[in-house]
Chain A
Amino acid sequence: MTAYYLGIDIGSRTSKGVVTGDGRLLACHVLPSGVNYRAAAEKLREALLGKIGLSVSDIAATVATGQGAGNVPFPNEPVTDIRCCARGINGVFPAARTIIDVQAQSSQVIRLNGSGLVTGFVVSEKCAAGSGRFMEVIANVLQVELKDIGPLSLKSKNPVAFSTGCAVFGESEAVSRVAEGSAVEDILAGVHQALADKISALVDRVGMETDCALSGGGGLDTGLIRAVEAKLGVRMLVPPQPQIITALGAAIMAEETRGGH
């Protein structure tokens, strides 16, 4: 009989869930975290189980991670997102030794070994510089859909220079560039470069070893991926669903430890 494992990643912006069985990814789901992490976790589990026709009792173990892990109302083993992210990437790209994880409110660079164990890490400081939230703020100013940011920015011939990676100052700076008549794609490309600068400063602090992977919601933004690749001079391995990697790692850890129930 197949045993099923649940990985739940309650992020500050979105919540991600994964169900695995026999070492395979069977279902995943993403929804906004909203202001009630408990409700988000419940809804996530319900949606996941619904997708593959399972009930709560079919889940052998659950690992919860992310900022809201402490709010997950059903039995689980809490594990830090740093460790889960490393295991998740290791499951997809076993050769990865460095991960750039671009989340909504912060970014982190994680070093890992061939077994997916964390050997070092560095997290951006508490402001949202170098994180996905910065892109959201800019997209809002420019009235661009988030999904269009990447493709649009790649059309830029003349990226504007952004002096800040700060989400608050960045907004007013974007407004100024708009007022000066800069093209939307040039502003977006400039923002990507500013983010890549911030990320490369983090990479410098913990050191880089290839292969290098990029995970988190930032991995959905092709413009950001290209900017980071240009800045670091290496190709990024990006999983097909980069935002669920940490939840996937959580499910893998649940399967390994079977300690959740």
Chain B
Amino acid sequence: MATGLNRVAEIYADRAARVTELKAGGKRIIGYLDIFPVVEMLTALDLVPYRLLGDLNEPITRADAYLPTVVCPFLRSVMDLGLKGKYDFLDGVVFAHGCEVSEKMAHIWRTYLHPPYAHFIDTPHTTHQAARKQHRELLKDFQKTLEEMTGQELTAEKLREAVNIHNRQRVLVRELYDLRKPDPPLISGAETVRVMVAVASLPVTEGNELLEQVIGEIKGRKDGPAPKPARLIVWGSIIDNTALVDLVESLGANVVMDDTTVGSRDYFPLVEITDDPRDGLADRYLVALRSPRTFRETVPDGNRRKDYMADLESRFGYLKDYAREWQVNGVILQVLRYCDIHGYEVPALKDYLESIGLPGIYLEHDYSKVALAQLRTRVQAFLEIIG
């Protein structure tokens, strides 16, 4: 069997290959959408979590009969793949209230695709005490349906073990991202996307082995990326293929960091080990995950009005840290067309970047290679400005 980056290439080209093998051997595969379903609970019951992603190369034809065309094209792509039977191998699906469209899609999926098991976690949208408490209760409901499906009890011990394995994966991803800090980075942005997509397509233990292999290989190789004048961070909507990053990297930039969900946004926050492991999980998924879909209390000034700059700092301060640690000199704010949660964030994020003197460019695209090609001039012009 191939190892390291060769294995990554194999899985990236055929995501479902490994899980369908596992399924033939008796494992049960559970699809999950976005970053809010608590996958540790699946792993703890020997279920294989498998991230639902779209396919940029597959024209959306069937989904338009079930979802409006004016919603996120990534979700329309996922729905389209489901309707075309590409996810028929799944033994169940878990959705959460990531955004409004994903919430609606969860119910549409359940209604029309009849998965053997389906669960929807109505993840709260604030981090208030009441919301945190509610999230804990929701995870208990989730646990109940999983126990019913598997006929097994989800003990605290099993869950703790699963948390440790998933935390190990997160630590490994950080190690991988550390290899992007030198100039030139030891791994390109496009390679990183492929690794992350592969990891999201494997059981967690196999993903960890793969990450260890990749990290070893990257450290030892001599043919990494060349130095380029621009070192960029890509912020925004989901990136589950290399098209956009390939485009940017072909124009004289290295993408050295991301704030996207098949990337640092999902993998950087760890789960705290708590007496009842569900408490640590509930807080990690609601509070520690920094997604614009979750409202965080605004920072008031002395007159109890919103202190805009302090608020921006509390929402986006981590990006300043990323920029410093990864020596970034530009930000690509990329938003999928109709991705409201990221779209709303753009004006404030632009203000923040301006306040810290970091140039950014806003790009809207619609999950197709043709549309991306049209962004070429804009990216070029941006690189000329910051170069």
A80 and B384 contact, CB distance less than 8 A: yes
Total of A-B residue pairs, C-beta within 8 Å: 26
B378 proximal to A (CB < 8 A):
yes
A119 proximal to B (CB < 8 A):
yes
Interfacial chain A residues near B380, Cβ < 8 Å:
80
Minimum CB distance partner of B366 in chain A: A126
B364 and A125 contact, CB distance less than 8 A: yes
B111 proximal to A (CB < 8 A):
no
Per-residue interface assignment for chain A, residues 78 to 98, with 1 indicating a CB less than 8 Å from any chain B CB and 0 otherwise: 011111000000000000000
Distance of A85 from chain B, by nearest CB (Å): 10
Looking at the complex, which one of B371, B374, B377, B385 makes contact with A118 (CB distance below 8 Å)?
Answer: B385
Minimum CB distance partner of B374 in chain A: A126
Minimum CB distance partner of B380 in chain A: A80
B364 and A119 contact, CB distance less than 8 A: no
Interface residues of A in 119-151 (CB under 8 A from B): 119-121, 123, 125-126
B384 and A123 contact, CB distance less than 8 A: no
Interface residues of B in 372-387 (CB under 8 A from A): 374, 377-378, 380-381, 384-385
Interfacial chain A residues near B377, Cβ < 8 Å:
67, 80-82, 123
Main secondary structure of the interface of B (DSSP, over half): helix
A82 and B381 contact, CB distance less than 8 A: yes
Minimum CB distance partner of B385 in chain A: A118
Residue with the greatest number of chain B CB neighbours at <10 A, chosen from A67, A79, A83, A126: A126
Distance of A74 from chain B, by nearest CB (Å): 21
A126 and B378 contact, CB distance less than 8 A: no
Interface residues of A in 56-89 (CB under 8 A from B): 67, 79-83
Residue with the greatest number of chain A CB neighbours at <10 A, chosen from B377, B380, B385: B377
Interfacial chain B residues near A126, Cβ < 8 Å:
371, 374
Distance of B29 from chain A, by nearest CB (Å): 38
Interfacial chain B residues near A125, Cβ < 8 Å:
364
Minimum CB distance partner of A69 in chain B: B377
B371 and A123 contact, CB distance less than 8 A: no
Distance of A69 from chain B, by nearest CB (Å): 9
Interfacial chain A residues near B371, Cβ < 8 Å:
126
Interface residues of B in 288-329 (CB under 8 A from A): none
Interface residues of B in 60-78 (CB under 8 A from A): none
Looking at the complex, which one of B364, B374, B384 makes contact with A83 (CB distance below 8 Å)?
Answer: B384
Cα A125 to Cα B385 with chains together (Å): 21
Interfacial chain A residues near B378, Cβ < 8 Å:
82, 121, 123
Per-residue interface assignment for chain B, residues 342 to 376, with 1 indicating a CB less than 8 Å from any chain A CB and 0 otherwise: 00000000000000000000001000000100100
Cα A132 to Cα B314 with chains together (Å): 44
Distance of B248 from chain A, by nearest CB (Å): 14
Interfacial chain B residues near A81, Cβ < 8 Å:
377
Distance of A154 from chain B, by nearest CB (Å): 33
Distance of A205 from chain B, by nearest CB (Å): 9
Interfacial chain B residues near A80, Cβ < 8 Å:
377, 380-381, 384
A118 and B384 contact, CB distance less than 8 A: yes
Cα A162 to Cα B101 with chains together (Å): 32
Cα A79 to Cα B378 with chains together (Å): 12
Interfacial chain B residues near A79, Cβ < 8 Å:
384
Distance of A60 from chain B, by nearest CB (Å): 22
B364 and A118 contact, CB distance less than 8 A: no
Minimum CB distance partner of A65 in chain B: B377
Minimum CB distance partner of B379 in chain A: A80
Interfacial chain A residues near B364, Cβ < 8 Å:
125
A121 and B374 contact, CB distance less than 8 A: no
Distance of B250 from chain A, by nearest CB (Å): 12
Distance of A161 from chain B, by nearest CB (Å): 24
Cα A180 to Cα B380 with chains together (Å): 46
Minimum CB distance partner of A81 in chain B: B377
Distance of B203 from chain A, by nearest CB (Å): 41
Distance of B335 from chain A, by nearest CB (Å): 12
Cα A83 to Cα B364 with chains together (Å): 21
Distance of B49 from chain A, by nearest CB (Å): 37
- Nearest 6 pairs of A and B residues by beta carbon: A82-B381, A80-B381, A80-B380, A126-B374, A80-B377, A118-B385
| Chain A residues with a Cβ under 8 A of chain B | 67, 79-83, 117-121, 123, 125-126
Can you list 7 residue pairs at the A/B interface with Cβ under 8 Å? A80-B384, A83-B384, A118-B384, A119-B385, A121-B381, A123-B377, A123-B378
- Contacts A82-B381, A119-B385 supplied; 15 other A-B pairs, CB < 8 Å: A67-B377, A79-B384, A80-B384, A82-B378, A82-B384, A83-B384, A118-B381, A118-B385, A120-B385, A121-B378, A123-B377, A123-B378, A125-B364, A126-B371, A126-B374
